[in-house]
Chain A
Amino acid sequence: MPLSRRTLGAVVLAGLICAGGCTTPQPRTNTNAPPAANAASGATPIPTPPPGTLSPSIPHDASFPDNPQTVAAIQHDFDVFSWQSFVALNWPALPDGSADPNKTIGADGDNGVVWDSYKEPYEVFLPDGSTPAPWGQQQLPEQCRNLGPSTGKVLEMIQKVSDDVLDVSGQPFNTGPLVDQQNGRYARYEIRINRDTFDYIVSNTLYNKEGQQAFTQLVQFPTGVNPSSQNTSPAPVGSVIIKAAWKVIDPAQGDRPERFHKVQAYVYTRASDNPPTPPSCELKTMGLVGFHIAHKTASAPQWVWSTFEQVDNVQVGHDAPPGTKANFFDPDSKYPVNTPPPRPWNPNVILPPEQRSQVKRLIPIDDATNALNAQWQAWLRGVNKDSVWQYYELISTQWPTNPKASPTGPKPTGDPAPPFLANSTLETYIQGTTPNVSSSCIMCHNNATTTNAKFSDFTYLLERAHKKGGGR
């Protein structure tokens, strides 16, 4: 069932919005224990997570209780951090965007989410380089103001990086759009930043080119620090950047809406000369298929990179009803795998079945992460057997094995583990294991700069800044 979302345009979100950091952090459980079972009934056991596991508090950093600290042990710790973050970011939100402490993720099946109140880049890097509206107030792009009643978000990007800013890429580096099997429609993308990220950009005037030119320090976004009994000052959440991938959901075309987090969104396509395309906007039910979380933390100055997918993306996932088809793979299709659709790329065209994306995951999810996924999915199912959140899985978490590497030294990336990581909906066409070519979050974002070619601390967003008064 489509969810009612915060109203865009007519309603200005008022009040202070906590960027996920206002609730008191709960003690987190980092356990290898299997889910506990409710043995009261003789039927399927209902798993119960340890208290505090499903929490609305975004973890400020990973915890590392394991000893010895091997790559596998630390990977597990970061994977737990990823799931904690996923749950907290997708926690039911109050009208001001903060997590609702009186609700539980998925208790109603689906729910509005905390990160939906985060700022989008178009709200921060304005065409005239002016100061963004304060946190909690939204600035719709001009082209969206007269499109009729606004009941949802605007999804414009058809590739992970917008066309006018070569920062993230059509998917990365204009490698091509992703087309779903059910509808033949392009996937859409959005990026969101949390309040710590927004405040850093605004307080340092990094939202326009003149401000970036005047900023002579090394760009260093806020770092998440876990609360400590030794430190009584508030511990910062740190910078969080979200990237989400969405597909059209239409039950008449075979989609299973009960397996997706959904929104009602304006699917907007800009006018184009090649191919000649008029602007268009449709109100569509969209389902979440890909979800990146980038979080700068004390243990990972190169940021922690978590990526999730809907379980049916490249193959039909667990507990699917008969007849369910994968979102981006058809075993009967002859279209070559991991190949973008034929040009010209026109988001308004519904592609025929024989040209829809055939996506294969080139690096399998490792066994330990699969086991952790099963555990968290069971816990989410324990909240509500109809929870949409049980149908998401962690692909992996990339983290620096040498976090102390100097950002100005010859090896600033800190030797990431795993060395390569791709989300099949966000880096579809750059999967693989070739250094500097295949998808690696840290290695790629290490190349990000400001508009005056200075290192921008692993985010390409600062390249979107315009001059004061307009223009590049």
Chain B
Amino acid sequence: MSSNTDLDNFVGLSAILTGFSASDLNPPLSPQPVAVEYLRTLKSKVDAALVSQLLTTYQTIAAQFPSDEQPAEVQSQILADPQMGPVARNVIRMWYLSIWYDGYTGTVTGFSPGTVVSSNAYTKGLAWEAMQAHPMGYSEMHYGYWAEPPVADDSTNVGASAFRDSSEGGQA
């Protein structure tokens, strides 16, 4: 499996896991594509065979099922899997919180120690975009935004194809 294919599969799977579109997660003109950093982190933290199984499983789902059926297949084939499920849930956390949590194996009931992936990733956690807020110490929003009502942002496409992981109380 080539690196480009890995990235495509990782972004495709992440789109289903996070509810953000693939183009939001990996904009074609992004000067600092965080998806590349996240995939690199995944590969550095998780056994190569398990990463390959995760991405290959998604690739098969994407090839065999129409897009509206893929979330259910990801639920049953990946999230319900005792090996791939915890990894996939950790990928969701990584996208939303920019942190890789070490305790990804087994049943996750809380948050184990983790590491911020990078300063670039820190500014791009999906949690902030979803709630139209910003991480501590970094904001692009204009002075005085806190006194104004939130502005709908078309690029924040949360929920359009969101997959909700009910097994974890909707942490994503």
Contacts and interface: CB of A to CB of B under 8 A. Distances in A.
Interface size of A as a range: 20 to 34
B64 interface: no
Interface string A65-84: 00001110010000000000
A32 interface: no
Nearest to B137: A436
- In the complex, which of the residues B31, B119, B132, B139 has the most CB atoms of chain A within 10 Å of its own CB atom? B31
Contact of A401 (B31, B119, B128, B139): B31
Interface stretch (B74-82, B87-95, B141-149, B162-170): B141-149
Interface string A402-414: 1001111111110
Interface in B119-165: 119-120, 122-123, 128-129, 132-134, 137-144, 148, 151, 153, 155-156
A410 B138 contact: no
Contacts of A416: 31
B143 A435 contact: no
Contacts of B27: 401-402, 415
B140 A453 contact: no
A443 B142 CA distance: 11
Contacts, number: 75
Given A406-B153, A435-B120, A412 B141 contact: yes
B49 interface: no
A446 interface: yes
Contacts of B143: 447, 449, 453, 455
B32 interface: yes
B3 to A, nearest CB: 17
A415 B123 contact: no
A418 interface: yes
- In the complex, which of the residues B29, B120, B139, B143 has the most CB atoms of chain A within 10 Å of its own CB atom? B29
A362 to B, nearest CB: 15
B30 interface: yes
A436 to B, nearest CB: 5
Question: Majority SS of interface residues in chain A?
Answer: loop
Contacts of B119: 433-435
Contacts of B123: 435-436
Interface in A9-65: none
Contacts of B120: 419, 435
Nearest 9 CB-CB pairings of A with B: A417-B31, A401-B29, A455-B142, A409-B153, A436-B138, A410-B132, A435-B123, A413-B140, A408-B151
24 contacts: A69-B29, A74-B29, A401-B30, A406-B153, A408-B148, A408-B151, A409-B153, A409-B155, A410-B132, A410-B134, A410-B140, A410-B141, A411-B155, A412-B142, A416-B31, A419-B32, A419-B120, A435-B119, A435-B123, A436-B123, A436-B137, A447-B142, A449-B143, A453-B144
Interface of B: 27, 29-32, 119-120, 122-123, 128-129, 132-134, 137-144, 148, 151, 153, 155-156
Given A415-B30, A455-B143, 16 more contacts: A402-B29, A408-B151, A409-B151, A410-B134, A410-B141, A411-B140, A415-B27, A415-B31, A417-B31, A433-B119, A435-B138, A436-B138, A446-B142, A447-B142, A453-B144, A454-B144
